[in-house]
Chains A and B, each alone.
Chain A
Amino acid sequence: MTRSWLMSELDGMLRLQSELDRALERPFDWFTRSTTGRGAFPPVNIFRDEASYLVRMEVPGLPAESLSIETKGDTLVISGKRTPTESSGSAHRRERWSGDFSRSVRLPKDAALESADASYRNGVLNIRVPFREESKPRRIEISSQSH
């Protein structure tokens, strides 16, 4: 699988931007201001693979210790705090967000939240929630009876 193939697939999968482009009636543009446009913050993507749900959140610049993940029933609650850039100088530009945040993500019934694990790499939080055993596809053996 080549990288460019994956990239175009990914772009097709994440159709958010083209929906936004349509909504704003502007011509298609590869250079977009920001990766997100839905307002909810920090932005979350949810995927699935053959064994689990994957919840990803863009939270660059936090030490992993300042992120907290809790479960309440079938809901994941991700919260944390990002401190503003510390600098003694005069500011030319302040675009990066800071402050407290909390996002709740409700997962389907077959998500085994008690078995979830999380990692944080390059500013992206990645939570993996496996499917429950009983909801995984299972092969049913057919017994053959010979007399």
Chain B
Amino acid sequence: MDDQLTVKSERKPSEAHENTRPVRTFIPKVDITETEDALWLWADLPGVASDDVDIRLENGRLSIEGSVGLDEYSNLSPLYTEYNVGNYVRSFEISNEIDSEAIEARVSNGVLELKLPKSERARPRRIPISAH
């Protein structure tokens, strides 16, 4: 199946995302697949609770933001560290039309699953040939 949508990733959040506080921001790893009727996205957001995920679709730009809970880090001293803790931000340009009313999002075990249904117009359609 040929891809019907093009998805462009932006390495950096736009200027609008600039933080006023010194919070580290990381780019989450994602899987994106396309089926006939929808675009599916999974993003790894370890440490982010489902209430702390913000998803926006505006002018063909999908943006995902997740903020980590920091309460679990109070009164701790680090002995050895391999990963940093901070928020997650990533955005994508999505070329064709998504039915924004029908977007479904679910977060479980630190993974966001997003279903972006294509609008009626953007779905592949079989054109019947009438026989005379």
Partner of B35, one of A4, A60, A88, A93: A88
> Does the CB pair A92–B3 fall under 8 Å?
yes
A35–B110 alpha-carbon span in the complex (Å):
14
Answer yes or no: A6 CB below 8 A from chain B CBs: yes
Partner of A90, one of B1, B42, B77: B1
Within 8 A of A (CB), among B1-39: 1-3, 5, 7, 9, 11-13, 19, 21-27, 29-36, 39
Q: Which residue of A lies closest to B88 (CB)?
A: A35
Q: Which residue of B lies closest to A33 (CB)?
A: B27
Answer yes or no: A115 CB below 8 A from chain B CBs: no
> Does the CB pair A95–B30 fall under 8 Å?
yes
By the criterion of a CB under 8 Å from any partner CB, how many residues of chain B are at the interface? 56
Q: Tally inter-chain residue pairs, CB-CB below 8 A.
A: 182
Say yes or no: A54-B86 contact (C-beta < 8 A), given A8-B22, A31-B27. no
Q: Which of the four size classes fits the interface of chain A?
A: 35 or more
Residues of chain B with a CB closer than 8 A to A89's CB: 1, 33-36, 40
A90–B36 alpha-carbon span in the complex (Å):
9
Answer yes or no: A79 CB below 8 A from chain B CBs: no
11 A-B pairs, CB-CB below 8 angstroms?
A6-B70, A10-B73, A30-B25, A32-B26, A34-B27, A36-B82, A46-B79, A59-B46, A90-B3, A91-B33, A96-B44
9 A-B pairs with least C-beta separation: A123-B110, A60-B110, A89-B35, A43-B83, A61-B111, A43-B82, A123-B46, A47-B76, A89-B33
Chain A residues within 8 Å of B, Cβ to Cβ: 1, 3-4, 6-8, 10-11, 13-17, 30-36, 38, 40, 43-50, 53-54, 58-63, 85, 87-97, 120, 122-124, 126
